[in-house]
Amino acid sequence: MLSGLDHLVVTVTDMGRAVDFYSRVLGLDVRYRDAQRVDLMLGDTALRLHQTDTDIEPISATPTPGSLDLCLRCQLPLDEFQQHLEALDIEVELGPVARQGANGAIESVYLRDPDGNLLEICRPAPR
């Protein structure tokens, strides 16, 4: 019936700050849809940013910055990704730690975006 995820909306307090973080820190490509919507591309899926003070309809019942808990797959080895974060002075909250992902064992590091959303960055666990 369903085949995948097209986009996920992330509610943010400051569009510019969020775009900077997701593009500079996580390397996501930015596509400006209009003055109120920005897509951050993950392959053929998007994180769509909506700022709290816009009047986009329809929206979730309680759009709240900082309420997202999201796991993203990383192409780099986690130690290289952590070096990248360190060079940008981005704090790793936890990790690397062993976890269970959608398709098997993963290793993850956790950090937060400027709105406090929890971001888990993962790689398949070594065999």
Digit-by-digit pLDDT tens for the chain (127 residues) are 989 999 999 999 999 999 999 999 999 999 998 878 899 999 999 999 999 988 788 888 888 999 999 999 999 999 999 999 999 999 999 999 999 999 999 999 999 999 999 999 999 998 7
Structure tokens at 6: 């097209």
Catalytic: which of 57, 80, 91, 120? 120
125 CB-near residues (< 8 Å, 6+ apart): 98, 104, 105, 106, 107
57 is catalytic: no
